[in-house]
Amino acid sequence: MKDICKSFHGIHANKDINLHVESGEILGLLGENGAGKTTLMNILYGLYQPDSGQIQINGSPISISNPVESILHGIGMVHQHFMLIQNHSILENIALGYKDTPFFFPKIKLRKRVAEFSKQFDFRMDLDQKVWQLSAGQQQRIEIIKALLNGADLLILDEPTSVLTPPEIKELISILRQMKAEGHMVIFISHKLDEIMDICDRVTVLQKGRIVGHANTADTNKKALARMMVGRDVVFNIDKEKLKKGKKVLSVQDIHISGDKGITAIKGVSFDLFENEIFGIAGVSGNGQRELAEAITGIRKIDSGSVRMDEKDITNLSPRHIYDNGVSHVPEERIRFGIAPGLFLYDNAILKQHHLKKFSKRYFLKYSQVKNHAKTIVSDFKVATHSINNQIRNLSGGNIQKLILGREISEQPRLLVASHPTYGLDVGATEFLREHLLELRKQGSSVLLFSEDLEEIFELCDRVAVIFAGEFMGILDADDERFCDIGLMMAGSKEPSPKITNFSESTAV
């Protein structure tokens, strides 16, 4: 890519970008939220047109005016937010955008092609399953198959690992290594510096739309990369102050919840959560975390059992009533449940809060208050946007997440239910959020944190429950030296070591 420039509303998203990738190479693209990574890759994939600059393949300039042309040039892209059609089957989704699709749906031919490919890259899946039934990892594999079937020489992966479980990440890395060995090129965007160091040959760092540095991963380290991105040193390990837990805030008693496919997703889970406490739920995703978070926040029905907030029964109340009882929620799927993409940023800053007296009077919103509130969130949480009169879908992924966090946290909730809150955040924003969660805890709130990132769990949580197949395998205290058992428990081992505590108090195992 040569001298690429692109602006939106007079603000540079990309400025004078020069970038190259060689065959058999994995290039990492790094930068803070809103630095311009996705925009640059959307230009390469033909979704956006640059204002100026040129794209060349093997030294010859080419023009890419849409994704069909980029696919013909051997470029494939897996987007930051999946673009599959949820109600269609895997095969139908692969057929959409397949470059050799004739007039009629080439079911038999395509099924054969996919089967050959699946064998080569060890993808195992039932092609007639509907996409909505699949985990994020499976959806992503379909996106990769789609790109490879179209003969992609260059595969662009925009934050592919944010939503993957650790085993899925391992699988993805081995696929990428195989592609590299076969001479394919990969551009890999991630905020997880360990991953970048592990799989990339080179990295390019963007800051505010410009390239600020290049490095060979062999000659650099995580700290130096973070400094290059953020322009200052980043603290990777924060110390948490020891606090005495206060009154009981949340009490979950023997709840059973059904999953989307009608099978029981949570089987008799019980626990209590106190003031000044961060309670982590660790586990490989798909073991009931999503259903548990949705049930507590009112999005999903509880079949039996009870949830109490400050001794008040809130079982199966509506999300709004649960919010009114002091429960905030940062959902796992931010685009589907966290925002209304077509609305302005200021509307999104008060979702679920629009009925509060300070934002509305009778049937009308008090727009000046709403806008002031939005401006405060934007400035406190450093949301990069040119204006609050901007449709939220135009913000970068990490900045959407920052706005959701600001909305849910800034009002000092009694309980925050947060699923993967640092998902998609850059290293600086992650550090900021972790400090903020600890501050909430200090102020007396409780936090129920769902995460697969063990480092995050260890750093923040006072107690951790390990969930497997819809049950708690045990609850560990942060002081427990046997944290190494967590890995085993995540894989389903219920064997409680002598130091596992709080069984009597909190679980129904």
Ligand X SMILES: Nc1ncnc2c1ncn2[C@@H]1O[C@H](COP(=O)(O)OP(=O)(O)OP(=O)(O)O)[C@@H](O)[C@H]1O
399-429: buried (b, 16+ CB within 10 Å) or exposed (e) per residue? bbbbbbbbbbbbeebbbbbbbbbbbbbbbbb
Stretch that binds Mg ion, among 365-373, 389-397, 484-492, 497-505 (CB under 5 A): 389-397
How many angstroms separate the Cα of 374 from the Cα of each of 162, 388, 429?
A: 27, 7, 18
- Say which entry of ligand X, Mg ion, none residue 452 contacts (CB below 5 to 8 A, set by partner kind): none
Numbers of helices and strands, H then E, in the chain: 17, 22
Residues in the interface with ligand X (CB under 6 A) total: 20
Residue nearest to ligand X (CB): 398
Q: Which is nearer to ligand X, 10 or 262 (CB)?
A: 10
Q: Which of 398, 406, 413, 428 binds ligand X (CB under 6 A)?
A: 398
204 binds ligand X (CB under 6 A): no
The SS3 call for residue 181 is helix
Stretch that binds ligand X, among 101-109, 390-398, 435-443, 486-494 (CB under 6 A): 390-398
37 binds ligand X (CB under 6 A): yes
How many angstroms separate the Cα of 462 from the Cα of each of 418, 437, 456, 475?
A: 15, 12, 12, 11
Dihedral of CA atoms 65, 70, 76, 78 in degrees, nearest 10, equals 0
Binders of Mg ion in range 59-88 (CB under 5 A): 80
* Shortest CB 281 distance to ligand X, Å: 26
Q: Which is nearer to Mg ion, 205 or 438 (CB)?
A: 205
Q: Kindly report the number of other CB atoms within 10 A of residue 472's CB atom.
A: 25
H/E element, 324: helix 319-324
* Shortest CB 80 distance to Mg ion, Å: 5
433 binds ligand X (CB under 6 A): no
* Shortest CB 31 distance to ligand X, Å: 5
Q: Which of 397, 413, 428, 474 binds Mg ion (CB under 5 A)?
A: 397
34 binds ligand X (CB under 6 A): yes
Binding flags for ligand X, 52-91, as an x/- string (CB under 6 A) = ----------------------------x-----------
Structure tokens at 83: 């673009």
Instruction: State CA 152 to chain mean position distance.
Output: 25
- Nearest Cα neighbor of 417 from 214, 252, 254, 266 is 252
Structure tokens at 158: 């925009």
Structure tokens at 450: 């769902």
Q: Which of 203, 293, 395, 466 binds ligand X (CB under 6 A)?
A: 395
* Shortest CB 158 distance to ligand X, Å: 7
Q: Which is nearer to Mg ion, 150 or 396 (CB)?
A: 396
Q: Which of 38, 70, 190, 445 binds Mg ion (CB under 5 A)?
A: 38
Residue 250 to residue 271: CA distance in whole angstroms: 8
Q: Which is nearer to ligand X, 310 or 333 (CB)?
A: 333
Structure tokens at 217: 């991963």
* Shortest CB 186 distance to ligand X, Å: 17
Q: Which of 335, 356, 384, 488 binds ligand X (CB under 6 A)?
A: 384
- Nearest Cα neighbor of 39 from 208, 167, 180, 181 is 208
Q: Where are the alpha helices (DSSP H) in 122-256?
A: 136-149, 166-181, 193-199, 222-230
288 binds ligand X (CB under 6 A): no
- Say which entry of ligand X, Mg ion, none residue 140 contacts (CB below 5 to 8 A, set by partner kind): none
Residues of the shown chain interacting with Mg ion in the complex, contacts defined by CB under 5 A = 38, 80, 396-397
Residues of the shown chain interacting with ligand X in the complex, contacts defined by CB under 6 A = 8, 13, 31, 33-39, 80, 384-385, 394-399, 426
